[in-house]
């Protein structure tokens, strides 16, 4: 188990290092960062001065190592646009994103797992077909459009929840639904497929044969084994949700890290952009690493691999 964890940890670290390099390179892909700071109309001297002050005249690798070293201590520099420390801004905004992400994942799991179990318990019946239809339709609805439609129905016409902001807890309801429904089809399909496979296994027949009730077999024996791949998928989806929070937070005007990402991107605020891309990547890497460990704990066969 220790060896397995170390191997996964090494892989995660290597991925993190590569991702950090890519986020760093983003700054230089756009051309001259000194010009974008000084402004298009700046004179040659001003640009040169900015270049020297920010250290853009040094070799790329030196700049990368310095950026990485600072990033490790939580220093992502100062925002070009907001003129505030990037890490402080992100720390202020992350709780909203994490709350919506967590709630969205909870919503998706609560909806998708029972639906998948029921669909597998009654294959090719009306229940199965309904679950499949929900999944296929759900996959085809763009989340930004879904969000707007929910605002029109529940905020504008029915006046039940606020259309934007999180001054009261009700402001979290629509964002949770929009973010959660996005992960639902995939989790539902995987739960269904896993349950179908497990239900045809010998030990399920044995459990039924020795007289155990349907419900006990279904949830205690079958679901426990079918859920293992779902853990990995949920971790991946949670990572995607954080990265995709930019869309939901922009629609509902939630002041989270996703909205900050949109603000910084549309204003060419490179330090903030870089830091956010790196941090969202790190969330993904940590989630998938934890899922790997959890899977190895749930399924001892994996540790040997």
**For residues 5 and 193, which CB has a smaller minimum distance to other proteins in the complex?**
193
Asked if residue 127 lies in contact with residue 133, where contact means CB atoms within 8 angstroms, the answer is no
**For residues 142 and 213, which CB has a smaller minimum distance to other proteins in the complex?**
142
DSSP 8-class letter at 172: G
In angstroms, give the least distance from the CB of 211 to other proteins. 29
**For residues 18 and 206, which CB has a smaller minimum distance to other proteins in the complex?**
18
Buried b vs exposed e over 183-210: b needs ≥16 C-beta within 10 Å? bbbbbbbbbbbbbbebbeeeebeebeee
Q: What residues make contact with other proteins under the rule CB under 8 A?
A: 11, 14-16, 18-19, 22, 26, 29-30, 123, 136-137, 139-145, 148-149, 151-152, 156, 193, 196, 236, 239-240, 242-244, 246-247, 250, 261-262, 265-266, 268, 273, 276-277, 280-281, 284-285, 288
In angstroms, give the least distance from the CB of 45 to other proteins. 25
> Any residues with CB less than 8 A from the CB of 183 and at least 6 apart, and which?
104, 105, 108, 112, 234, 237, 238, 240, 241
- Measured CA distances, 286 to 86, 223, 240, 289, 292 (Å): 21, 25, 12, 5, 10
In angstroms, give the least distance from the CB of 40 to other proteins. 14
In angstroms, give the least distance from the CB of 145 to other proteins. 4
**For residues 49 and 143, which CB has a smaller minimum distance to other proteins in the complex?**
143
In angstroms, give the least distance from the CB of 208 to other proteins. 21
Count the alpha carbons within 13 Å of 135 in the hemisphere toward its beta carbon.
20
- Shortest CA distance to 106 belongs to which of 199, 232, 234? 234
**For residues 98 and 212, which CB has a smaller minimum distance to other proteins in the complex?**
98
In angstroms, give the least distance from the CB of 105 to other proteins. 16
**For residues 9 and 14, which CB has a smaller minimum distance to other proteins in the complex?**
14
């Amino acid at each position: 188990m220790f060896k397995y964890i170390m191997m996964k940890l090494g892989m995660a670290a290597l991925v993190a290092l590569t991702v950090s390099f890519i986020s760093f390179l983003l700054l230089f892909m756009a051309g001259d960062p000194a010009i974008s700071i000084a402004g298009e109309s700046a004179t040659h001297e001003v640009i040169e001065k900015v270049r020297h002050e920010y250290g853009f005249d040094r070799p790329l690798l030196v700049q990368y190592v310095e950026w990485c070293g600072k990033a490790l201590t939580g220093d992502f520099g100062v925002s070009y646009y907001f003129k505030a420390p990037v890490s402080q801004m992100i720390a202020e905004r992350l709780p909203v994103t994490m709350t919506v992400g967590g709630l969205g994942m909870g919503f998706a799991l609560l909806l998708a797992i029972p639906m998948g179990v029921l669909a597998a318990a009654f294959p090719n019946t009306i229940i199965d077909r309904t679950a499949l239809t929900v999944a296929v339709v759900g996959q085809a609805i763009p989340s930004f459009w879904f969000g707007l439609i929910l605002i029109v129905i529940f905020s504008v016409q029915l006046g039940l929840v606020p259309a934007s902001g999180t001054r009261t807890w009700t402001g979290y309801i629509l964002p949770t639904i929009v973010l959660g429904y996005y992960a639902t089809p995939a989790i539902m399909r995987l739960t269904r497929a896993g349950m179908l496979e497990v239900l045809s296994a010998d030990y399920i027949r044995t459990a039924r044969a020795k007289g155990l009730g349907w419900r006990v077999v279904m949830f205690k024996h079958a679901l426990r084994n079918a859920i293992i791949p779902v853990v990995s998928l949920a971790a991946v989806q949670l990572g995607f949700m954080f990265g995709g929070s930019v869309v939901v937070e922009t629609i509902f005007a939630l002041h989270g890290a996703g909205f900050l990402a949109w603000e910084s991107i549309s204003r060419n605020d490179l330090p903030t952009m870089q830091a956010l891309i790196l941090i969202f990547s790190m969330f993904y890497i940590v989630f998938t690493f934890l899922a790997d460990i959890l899977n190895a704990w749930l399924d001892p066969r994996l540790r040997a691999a």
